[in-house]
Amino acid sequence: MNLLLWFRNDLRSHDNPALQYVLAQHKLDTPVEAIFFVTHKQWLQHDWSARKIDFIMRHANALVAELANVNIMLKLVEVDSFAEQISYLVSYCQNNQVSEIVANSEVELNETLRDNALQAAGVKLTLFEADVIVPKGKLLTQSGEMFKVFTPFKQAWLSYVKALGFDYLGKLTHKQLEACQHSETETSLTSAWPLAKDYERDVLPQFLAEKLAQYAQKRDFPAIKGTAGISPYLAAGVISPRYLLRLLLTKYPDLLSSPNAEAFSWLNELIWREFYRHQLFHHPKLCKHESFKSQYQGLPWLNDAHAFKAWQQGKTGYPLVDAAMRQLNSTGWMHNRLRMVVASFLTKHLLIDWRWGEQYFMQQLIDGDFAANNGGWQWAASTGCDAQPYFRIFNPIRQSERFDPNGEFIRTYIPELANIPDKEIHFPHDYIAKHGLRQYWPPIVEHKSARLRALAFFKAN
């Protein structure tokens, strides 16, 4: 029986059910064929950023070297589209007497349709689930539907894991794999982010030992490195969420029963990730640019192109918004609190379609993940599942005063404001005018009037 292992959004040897399944069918002295498609044109159609692509390719190349040590021959094949993936695989199976392709499932609509088409072409495709902790479809309301509110979903999630546990396959233990070292000699767009194996060895233990206890208190302050920086690894599938839960439960065995434990705030973020992936599984319409709340599908957004460009470039005149956008543009990453602030500003202050922001984020983010990105943007725009109500409009000045009180983050990305006093930096325009300064652009909207306009907009629609 010839099997082909198909790597997709799971370029890892650690806790990889498809990989473990294939290895269980082979002896180590028998070569295992594996494939990963490099599909730049398709990736760009899905608005993947150059940073995300670079990050993935670094892991693909590292995995080639790693798996070669255990007689798994991973081949990187360049094609343009999902249709070409199907054609290639059908031909490969016929020419190499492959009876079964083994892979981990992907939840997005186009990927699901591709898999269905491959099976319709006569290929046996065996799929495992590796992107969530609780299998999608297992958490339903009493009426048999997916939860529309996060908190009851969370309670059901916790109950499921406490009662049934979760699968975790661990690391491959073959001595050749453990001894394998892949060193990178070239710099790239994402060199600042270590490979997943190095992150698991060096960064994650330090976060758990030194930062997790204060995560709930520090996670909202962008000038503090209080988060784990795990999102690019989860988005690329190079680290397993089940591994993260196992680490948490090793350190905090009673965590699932003690929601006030210091580490639960971090676990809560993992459950939010699960919530959005489960939503995508139950509601594939989300992949078609549709609002979760159908009544908001046809909102007459203002969609001012000049205002959108100012937002993109970090020239709105609101320092926290502008610093956040500069962080995104220069690093490919943005602090989570700031993602909420800038998304609220675009959709509520400027009344620009959330889809514009969703797409721009995907085009910039190293951690671009459709489910999380779509969920976050629809949450901010009040169009999504368990979204903030339309009348909740972040005040960017108050957010700045609360979460960047000394302007440390603002000054990092807007050095033009370096000499503005702390008290004035959150909205420095009166100070700038008084002192005859011109180093910062004026606000494109006035907060109070923009808020009233947004309230009227949503009430009317």
What are the tens digits of pLDDT across the range 345-360? 999 999 999 999 999 9
- Cross-strand partners of 226: none
User: What pLDDT does 183 receive?
Assistant: 64
Is position 100 annotated as part of the catalytic site?
no
User: What pLDDT does 439 receive?
Assistant: 80
Start-end of H helices in 186-335: 196-198, 204-206, 215-218, 231-235, 241-251, 264-282, 305-313, 319-331
Contact 263, 215 (CB under 8 A): yes
Q: CA 59 to CA 12: how far, in whole Å?
A: 8
User: What pLDDT does 261 receive?
Assistant: 73
CATH of 150-171+196-282, one of 1.10.3430.10, 3.40.50.300, 3.40.50.720, 1.25.40.80: 1.25.40.80
User: What pLDDT does 178 receive?
Assistant: 52
Cβ count near 145 (within 10 Å): 9
Burial class (CB in 10 A: 0-12, 13-18, 19+), 144: exposed
Predicted confidence band of residue 416 (pLDDT cuts 50, 70, 90): very high
Share of the chain above pLDDT 90, in %: 87
State residue 119 phi and psi, 5-degree precision.
Answer: -70, -35
Q: Can you tell me the mean pLDDT for 13-25?
A: 92
Q: CA 206 to CA 199: how far, in whole Å?
A: 10
Predicted confidence band of residue 185 (pLDDT cuts 50, 70, 90): low
266 assigned ligand-binding residue: yes
92 assigned ligand-binding residue: no
Q: CA 450 to CA 58: how far, in whole Å?
A: 44
Predicted confidence band of residue 189 (pLDDT cuts 50, 70, 90): confident
Mind listing the pLDDT tens digit for each residue in 160-176?
Answer: 999 999 999 887 765 44
User: What pLDDT does 176 receive?
Assistant: 46
Q: Can you tell me the mean pLDDT for 436-457?
A: 93
Q: Does the pLDDT value for residue 301 go beyond 50?
A: yes
Q: Return the CATH number of the domain spanning residue range 2-128.
A: 3.40.50.620
460 assigned ligand-binding residue: no
Q: CA 339 to CA 33: how far, in whole Å?
A: 41
Q: Can you tell me the mean pLDDT for 104-119?
A: 97
Is position 441 annotated as part of the catalytic site?
no
Cβ count near 302 (within 10 Å): 12
Map out the domains of the chain as residue ranges. Answer: 2-128, 150-171+196-282, 294-460
Is position 48 annotated as part of the catalytic site?
no
Q: Can you tell me the mean pLDDT for 290-313?
A: 96
Q: CA 136 to CA 280: how far, in whole Å?
A: 9
Q: Can you tell me the mean pLDDT for 359-383?
A: 97
Active-site residue (options: 301, 395, 424, 441):
301
Q: Two tokens at 145?
A: 């539907």
Burial class (CB in 10 A: 0-12, 13-18, 19+), 290: middle
Spatial CA neighbour of 409 closest among 313, 324, 311: 324
Active-site residue (options: 48, 356, 377, 379):
377
Please give the distance of CA 327 from its chain centroid, rounded to a whole number.
Answer: 17
Spatial CA neighbour of 261 closest among 213, 225, 226: 213
Active-site residue (options: 193, 354, 356, 379):
354
Which architecture does CATH list for 294-460? Orthogonal Bundle (1.10)
Q: Does the pLDDT value for residue 389 go beyond 70?
A: yes
Predicted confidence band of residue 181 (pLDDT cuts 50, 70, 90): low
- Residues whose CB is less than 8 angstroms from the CB of residue 211 and which lie 6 or more positions away in sequence, other chains included: 218, 225, 226, 227, 228
274 assigned ligand-binding residue: yes
Please give the distance of CA 162 from its chain centroid, rounded to a whole number.
Answer: 26
270 assigned ligand-binding residue: yes
Contact 410, 440 (CB under 8 A): no
- Residues whose CB is less than 8 angstroms from the CB of residue 260 and which lie 6 or more positions away in sequence, other chains included: none
Is position 377 annotated as part of the catalytic site?
yes
230 assigned ligand-binding residue: yes
Q: Two tokens at 380?
A: 């901010």
Q: CA 319 to CA 411: how far, in whole Å?
A: 9
Q: Can you tell me the mean pLDDT for 248-256?
A: 92
Predicted confidence band of residue 386 (pLDDT cuts 50, 70, 90): confident
Active-site residue (options: 61, 71, 268, 336):
336
Is position 84 annotated as part of the catalytic site?
no
Mind listing the pLDDT tens digit for each residue in 36-63?
Answer: 999 999 999 999 999 999 999 999 999 9
State residue 431 phi and psi, 5-degree precision.
Answer: -65, -45
Share of the chain above pLDDT 70, in %: 96
Q: CA 435 to CA 456: how far, in whole Å?
A: 37
Strand order, beta sheet including 2-7: 72-78, 32-38, 2-7, 98-104, 125-128
Q: CA 149 to CA 372: how far, in whole Å?
A: 15
- Most confident segment among 185-199, 204-218, 347-361: 347-361
Active-site residue (options: 272, 333, 356, 379):
272
Q: Can you tell me the mean pLDDT for 393-419?
A: 96
229 assigned ligand-binding residue: yes
Q: pLDDT averaged over the chain? A: 93
State residue 101 phi and psi, 5-degree precision.
Answer: -105, 135
